[in-house]
Structures are given as structure tokens and as C-alpha cells.
Amino acid sequence: MPLVTTKEMFKKAYEGGYAIGAFNINNLESIKGIIEACKEKNSAVILQCSTGAIKYAGMDYLIALVNAASKESGLDIALHLDHGPDFETCKKCIDAGFTSVMIDGSHHSFEENIKLTKQVVEYAHSKGVTVEAELGVLAGVEDDVVADDHIYTNPDEAVEFVKQTNCDSLAIAIGTSHGAFKFPPNFKPELKFEILEEIQKKLPGFPIVLHGASAVDPESVKTCNEYGGKINDAVGIPVEMLRKASSMAVCKINMDTDLRLAMTANIRKVFGDTPSEFDPRKYLGTAKDGVKAVVLSKIENVLGSENSSSSKKCGCNCGCK
């Protein structure tokens, strides 16, 4: 099964009132955990790499692993560049076989963001690759960029931006935030559904993306800390709010932190419970299982994307194609 773009995925997701999970990958364990869960649920999926992930694992290694996952699973999988910082990085990924790229011009002026996004869209579309852009600023850390405050997306600007750039999807800021320390423990996170509704009304049928959508699972944080970790308590994005967003125009939901926390919790537990263990397959295997459990729960409770992959013909879990 060749990798697919996000075009058809998003069309089906929009019409079906669900979203596709976009999970960050860095290594074999994260990819296998995500794919095992998606196979069990017959869910389409976006595997995305940041520039940091590419630097860590190497682009050729990541592409080979994702192609292997696609061949083995038969699922609808898109390989996506997360937070592409410039035209050159996007071009490199497109030329190497990514089926989707994000150009993140959100820290530039509106005009500069349009100019940069247009340049990427023109090149990507000439190669049959889809483009996600971003308008508005999320609080938190995006690679090396730290923003203290949200700048919520302006719906009228979103319309103008999409019209001028011809991008395929748009990441918006409505109250989500990157990383593990999104909000202090007693904070009540809130998504600005009125902004999402207005954008949906003004751009009917157009796929919207949410970044920074991890729930920061308290159980994972507790396990990490019980086994020698030092991760401050924090509140993530409530699952019900994300499910509501995915039933609306939100077609792609990005999650990375929850996978990182689950991997770390499981590895710490193995080391804590079995100090004699030194076979990497044992502790990395539980890290993979942690990722799988998180993705299964996201498909059920956040995304609603069960049976969204076109590859499997029956509703069973037998692996038939």
C-alpha cells in the first residue's frame, strides 16, 4: 500500500464527523506502537516528523520505517512534516517522498506567512503533495520557538489566508498549547468553539487542524514521578472538547506529548521494578506498548476514526484486505 496524501482522508473525516490522529514519530517503537493500534481499529493515520525528529533519526531511516509500516499494515498512512520552518526543508521532504508538509509561518507577519505558504503550496502541488499552514499562535514550545501567549486565529484572516495561499488545511489557535506544561494544575482549559464555528461557517468543507492537543495523562505523569521522574503536574486538553472539535471542521489532531509520557512511564517502571533488566527489547517493548495503549484510547475517545482506513474490506480484526 503506497503512502497517501491527506486529501481523501480529510474529505472523509469532514463528512464523517471525525478526525485523523497525527502522531509524532522518532523511532521504531513509536511507529510500531501507533501502527499496531491503528491496525486494531482499522484507522487511517498521519505519521509526522518534526525537524528535530529528522535530525535525530535521519530522514532516510524514518522514510524507510514508514514505508515498511505502510506495506505491512495496508493502512491509509500519510507521512507528514510537522512544523516545517522554511521552503527548503519542505522541498527536501517533498523530494524525499513525504506526502504532506506543514509550512509553519505563524510567527511571521500575515503578509510574510502568505508569501511563504504560497511558495510551498506551488511546489508541493506540482508534486501532488498536500500542505498544512498555520495562522494564529499557540502558547508553549514549538521546536525552538517559545510563545508566552495565545494569539487566537482571526476568522476573517483565515478566509483571506486560505483564498490567497490555496493551502489544503489550516492549523488554528483556539486554546490548545504545545508540550507537557500547558496549563497549571487547577486551570480550567477552554477551547474557543465560537472561533471554530465562525471559521467553519466562512470556510465550509475546509479541513482545520489542532496542534498541542495532548491530554497530559495524569496517570503517566504519576508513574514517571513514582519511579524517580520529576515532571511537574500540569493540565492538558480535555478529551470531550477534542471529540467535539473532531465532530466539527477539525480533521487532524496532533498529539506527541502523551506518547512521550507513556513511553517514559513504562521504561521507568521496568527499570524500577526490575533493576537487573538490561535487554533493550524489554524496556523499549513496553515503551511501544505504552504508545499503542495511548493511540487506541485516542482513536476511541478523541478522534472517532475507527474504520476510517479504506484498505480493509470487512469490519473484523482479522487483517483481511
The stretch among 58-66, 110-118, 211-219, 240-248 that binds Zn ion (CB under 5 A) is 211-219
Q: Which of the listed partners (ligand 13P, Zn ion, ligand G3H, none) does 255 bind, with a CB threshold of 5 to 8 Å by partner kind?
A: ligand 13P
Shortest spacing between CB 171 and Zn ion, in angstroms: 7
Which one of residues 178, 268, 292, 298 is an interface residue with ligand G3H (CB under 6 A)? 178
Smallest gap from Cβ 257 to ligand G3H, in A, equals: 6
Contact partner, 143, from Zn ion, ligand 13P, ligand G3H, none, Cβ < 5-8 Å per class: ligand G3H
Residue 189 touches ligand G3H, criterion: CB under 6 A: no
Per CB under 6 A, the list member of 124, 213, 221, 291 interacting with ligand 13P is 213
**Residue 142 in contact with ligand G3H, rule: CB under 6 A:** yes
50 near ligand G3H, judged by CB under 6 A: yes
Q: Using the rule CB under 6 A, is 256 a contact of ligand G3H?
A: yes
- In sequence order, the 6+-apart residues with CB closer than 8 A to the CB of 26 are 49, 53, 56, 57
- Contact range with ligand 13P by CB under 6 A, out of 112-120, 195-203, 205-213, 217-225: 205-213
Q: Does 30 bind ligand 13P (CB under 6 A)?
A: no
CB of 189 to Zn ion, least distance (A): 16
CB of residue 212 to ligand 13P, shortest distance in Å: 4
Among the listed residues 55, 91, 57, 83, the one whose alpha carbon sits nearest the alpha carbon of residue 145: 83
Residue 214: name its binding partner from ligand 13P, Zn ion, ligand G3H, none (Cβ under 5 to 8 Å by kind): ligand 13P
Q: How far apart are CA 176 and CA 190, in angstroms?
A: 8
104 binds ligand G3H (CB under 6 A): no
One residue of 94, 173, 256, 261 binding ligand 13P per CB under 6 A: 256
Find out whether 197 and 218 touch, Cβ atoms under 8 Å.
no
List 132's β-bridge partners, or say none: 102, 169
248-267 residues near Zn ion, rule: CB under 5 A: 254
**Residues with Cβ within 8 Å of residue 111, at least 6 apart in sequence:** none
Read off the C-alpha cell for 21: 490522529
Residue 168 or 256: which CB sits closer to ligand 13P? 256
Among ligand 13P, ligand G3H, Zn ion, none, partner that 252 touches (CB below 5 to 8 angstroms by kind): none
Our CB check for ligand 13P shows the closer of 124 and 262 to be: 262
80 sits near Zn ion (criterion: CB under 5 A):
no
CB of 278 to ligand 13P, least distance (A): 30
Please give, one letter per residue, the 3-state secondary structure of the chain: CCCCCCHHHHHHHHHHCCCEEEEECCCHHHHHHHHHHHHHHCCCEEEEECHHHHHHHCHHHHHHHHHHHHHHHCCCEEEEEEEECCHHHHHHHHHHCCCEEEECCCCCCHHHHHHHHHHHHHHHHHCCCEEEEEECECEEEECCEEECCCECCCHHHHHHHHHHHCCCEEEECCCCECCCCCECCCCCCCCCHHHHHHHHHHCCCCCEEECCCCCCCHHHHHHHHHCCCCCCCCECCCHHHHHHHHHCCEEEEEECHHHHHHHHHHHHHHHHHCCCCCCHHHHHHHHHHHHHHHHHHHHHHHHCCCCCCCCCCCCCCCCCC
Q: Which position among 12, 211, 243, 312 is part of the footprint of Zn ion (CB under 5 A)?
A: 211
Interface residues toward ligand G3H, by CB under 6 A: 24, 50, 52-53, 82-83, 142-143, 178, 256
Footprint on this chain of ligand 13P (rule: CB under 6 A)? 24, 82-83, 178-179, 211-214, 254-257
